[in-house]
Amino acid sequence: METPSFSPATKIAALIEQLGPAPETKLVLAYSGGVDSQVLAAGLAEFAQSHPELNYLLVHVHHGLSANAAQWAKHCELMADQYGLPIKVKQVKVESGPRVSIEAAARDARYAALTQELSAGDLLLTAHHQDDQLETLLLALKRGLGPKGLAAMGQLQVFAEHAYLVRPLLDVQRQEIEEYAKLHHIAHIEDESNQDNRFDRNFLRLDVIPALKARWPAIAATVSRSAQLCAEQQALIDDEVGARLPGMIVKIPNLAKPVLDLRLLAQHSELWRAQLLRGFIDSLGFAMPSSVQLKQILSQLLLAKEDAKVEIRLKSMVLRRFRHHLYIDKYQPSPKLMPKEIAISDNGSQGWEIANNIKLNASICDEGVRLRLPQSNELVSIRFGASGAIRCHPHFRDKGRELKKLWQELAVPPWLRDQVPLIYFNDKLVAAVGYWVEKRFIALGTDVGLRFEMIKSVE
């Protein structure tokens, strides 16, 4: 038998050297116990002997989908003990249902479990190899993806916004890995589900790729080169989007997320509009729509009349147009806001729950624009929604104006207006939290007054 042409420890060292991790950085290996991750675990154990300044952890995710899952977890624990590496077995619940892909749900659960073990700067190692790259690119072609999808996997990638994903075996063929395991007598598990060709990856692995390799033996390597070329092209696109997009993004007062200026977007060519919208959606952390969906979204956003109500719900996000700006938010039912009467003390800070995960705080202060303290005969209440015909006189205006016109003047989108806490003294609207204090009710001079703030807890 020929000696395998690679060393997993050397492959690991070459990529880790590029990153130059600080001492105490943790290397976390996604450890299924299959032949690929078992060979990589052996290489990590060898690498760890010469790099004791780093920390190491094997993570085996117990999906509970196989009757053998507990046995696999035990095997991984025994092997980790032989390697002298710490291990965590993490049991997860995989979502199931008539329209749920078990493959995707298991992957999502697995990566969520792995992410929990990573701190800023840590490295996640996976045992993806050249044949996995071929499978990934074929699946991307099936889904009709562009350069970003066809770029498939990279050897080094940012992961979970704060860590790195490292794939030391990405340029190694599956056959080489199997030969290495056999030569070094590395025991591994066999997942029986890998023989079920109802799953897309298994169909490619069992039925399609062997036929492709029989006709074109070097196809895995050539496809990897294509993936690299797509990655380089996508990097150029990303650089240009990164240069153009910031000038089109607007920060709106009292809104956590920025918005996109659609007038500026419309000035670009049709192809660049799609790329820039993709970049904006990606910057907010939402899943990317398909090309067809993106084209429909752009058509609705850019061709609608100025006063048209445009609201598009797509997966976990909702896109809305107000005037010439695009607002994108996580889709969720409007909070059930609770009007209430409140008592105001004359010192310290106070807070009231006005909805699930939403609290209104009031603090006593003697500077800046602030609401005067209520008098003994004034009942204080928090309310939501008010007639647009109510006339208000905000502290920043010389004259009063109808509430509806004020919302328009302040560019408050219609879907957010009824969520603004309104402070009343008896039946008089005296403040819109985050926007204004009624001029006649401002605390003057050095008098102490109230400053309100709405706090949303992290979900």
What counts of helices (H) and strands (E) characterise the chain?
A: 15, 22
Q: How many CB atoms lie within 10 A of CB 378?
A: 15
* Of residues 3, 70, 8, 5, the one with CA closest to residue 33: 70
User: In terms of domains, do 191 and 313 share one?
Assistant: no
Give pLDDT tens digits for 222-260. Answer: 999 999 999 999 999 999 999 999 999 999 887 888 999
Cβ atoms of 280 and 260 closer than 8 Å: yes
Confidence of residue 297 (pLDDT cuts 50, 70, 90): very high
For residues 104 and 228, membership in a common domain is answered with yes
Say whether 38 sits in a helix, a strand or coil: helix
DSSP string covering 79-91, please? HHHHHT--EEEEE
Within 10 Å of residue 330's Cβ, how many Cβ atoms?
A: 12
Closest by Cα among 237, 280, 224, 272 to 147 = 237
Q: Report whether 297 contacts 277 (CB < 8 A).
A: yes
Hey, what are 315's tokens?
């997966």
Extract the tokens encoding 384.
Answer: 């939501």
Residue 271 is part of a domain; what is its CATH number? 1.20.59.20
Residue 1 lies in a domain: no
Average pLDDT estimate for 386-395: 94
Query: For residue 1, is pLDDT > 50?
Result: no
Task: State the pTM of this model.
Answer: 0.74
Q: Is residue 159 part of a domain?
A: yes
Among 424, 339, 437, smallest CA distance to 378 is for 424
Statement: residue 309 has pLDDT above 90: no
Q: Are residues 232 and 84 in the same domain?
A: yes
Task: Give 368-390 pLDDT, tens digit per residue.
Answer: 999 999 999 999 999 999 999 99
Q: Which of 267, 302, 330 is the last residue of a domain?
A: 330
**Tens of pLDDT along 193-209?**
778 788 888 899 999 99
**Single residue among 272, 295, 330 that ends a domain in this structure:** 330
pLDDT in tens, 115-152: 999 999 999 999 999 999 999 999 989 888 888 888 88
Tally of domains within the chain: 3
**What pLDDT score does 226 carry?**
93
What band does 337 get if pLDDT is binned at 50, 70 and 90?
confident
Is the pLDDT score of 332 beyond 70?
A: yes
Q: Does residue 33 contact residue 79 with C-beta atoms inside 8 Å?
A: yes
Residues 288 and 345 in one domain: no
Q: Which of 234, 235, 314 is nearest to 281 (CA)?
A: 314
- Asked whether the predicted pLDDT for residue 336 surpasses 70, the reply is yes
Q: Are residues 22 and 160 in the same domain?
A: yes
The four Cα atoms 334, 453, 412, 389 give a dihedral, to 10 degrees, of: 90
Report yes or no on 3 lying in a domain. Answer: no
Whether residue 2 is contained in a domain is answered as: no
**Domain span at residue 73?**
8-237
Clarify whether residues 125 and 87 are in a common domain.
yes
Element housing 112 (H / E): helix 102-115
- d(Cα 226, Cα 137) in Å, to the nearest integer? 9
CA distances from residue 396 to 297, 406, 438, 442 in whole angstroms, order as listed: 37, 11, 9, 11
Token readout for 436 is 């204004």
- Residues 69 and 212 occupy one common structural domain: yes
pLDDT in the model for residue 182: 94
Helix (H, G, I), strand (E, B) or coil at 456: strand
* Distance, C-alpha 134 to centroid of its chain: 26
Q: Does 73 map to a domain?
A: yes
CA atoms of 331 and 106, how far apart (whole Å): 24
Do 364 and 302 have their domain in common? no
**Which of 283, 306, 330 is at the close of a domain?**
330
CATH of the domain at 84: 3.40.50.620
Q: Which tens digit of pLDDT belongs to each residue from 411-455? A: 899 999 998 999 999 999 999 999 999 999 999 998 999 999 988
Q: How many CB atoms lie within 10 A of CB 190?
A: 12
Domain presence at residue 335: no
Residue 426 lies in a domain: yes
Euclidean distance between the first and the last CA atom of the chain, given in angstroms as a whole number: 56
Average pLDDT, whole number, for the chain?
Answer: 90
115 and 256 inside one domain: no
Does 348 lie in the same domain as 275?
no
pLDDT tens track for 43-60:
999 999 999 999 999 999
Give the Cα separation of 132 and 130 in Å (integer): 5
Q: Please check whether residue 243 lies inside any domain of the structure.
A: no
- What is the structure's pLDDT at 457? 67
For residue 177, how far is the Cα from the chain centroid? 33
pLDDT at 3 exceeding the cut of 60:
no
Q: 452 CB contacts (<8 Å, ≥6 apart)? A: 360, 361, 362, 371, 421, 423, 431, 433, 434
Same structural domain, 319 and 384? no
Task: Looking at the structure, tell me whether residues 438 and 420 fall in a common domain.
Answer: yes
**Top mean-pLDDT range of 286-295, 354-363, 425-434:** 425-434
pLDDT (average), residues 88-114: 82
Q: What percent of the chain has pLDDT over 70?
A: 97
